[in-house]
Amino acid sequence: MISQIIIIDLHSIVQNSADSVRRHKKYSRALSEISNGNLSLKILSPRTNFYSKPLVILFFLLDLKNHLQTNSSKISLLVCGDPWVTLWVTILASKLSKTKIPIQVQCHGDFGSTEWKSQKFLNTIKFNLIFLNFRQVLGLRFVDKKQFQNLRSKI
C-alpha cells in the first residue's frame, strides 16, 4: 500500500503560487522515485469560499479531522509549514480524530535569532509560544544549520 506524506497548507501558500505548485510536484516525483513508489505527497489546503479567517481555520480543522479519521492507515507523516497555528490545528485535528500520526514542523524563519525576535513584539510572543507544542512533534526541519543552532541555543 502507498503511504502518504501530507503537507498541511493552512495558509494556502502552496496552492496560491504556481512556482510552489511546480516545486511540490517535483518533490512528489522525487519522493515516489526514492521510495520505489511506496510514498506519495499530498497537500491539504482549506476551502477558499469563506471571507473570515477564523471560519477558514475552523472548517479546515474539521476537514482535516475527517481526512485523518478516514485515511489514518494510509498516512505516515503530517508536515506543518509553521510551528504556530498550522501546528496547533494539526495537533487538535489529530486529537479529535483520535489518530497518532507523526508530525514534522518546517522552520523557514530563523526563530531563534535575536534579530528576528526583536523585529516585532508579535515575534517575541511567537518565540515564547513556539516551545508549547514541541512535545507533540516528531521532528523539526530547518532551512539551514544556522537556524537550527540559533533555536537550539534558546531551548
Give backbone dihedrals phi and psi of 31, rounded to 5 degrees, phi first. -65, -45
pTM score:
0.84
pLDDT at 140: 77
Q: Which residues pair with residue 7 across a beta bridge?
A: 43, 79
Q: How far is CA 17 from the centre of its chain?
A: 17
User: Residue 154 has what pLDDT?
Assistant: 66
pLDDT of residue 131: 62
- Do the Cβ atoms of 83 and 7 come closer than 8 Å? no
Task: Please give the Cα distance from 155 to 142 (Å, whole number).
Answer: 15
Angle, CA 48 vertex, CA 44 and CA 50 arms, to 5°: 130
At residue 7, the pLDDT reads: 94
Mean pLDDT per 10-residue interval, the chain, length 155 residues: 91 86 91 93 84 88 96 94 88 94 84 79 79 70 79 69
What backbone phi and psi angles, to 5 degrees, belong to 37? 80, 10
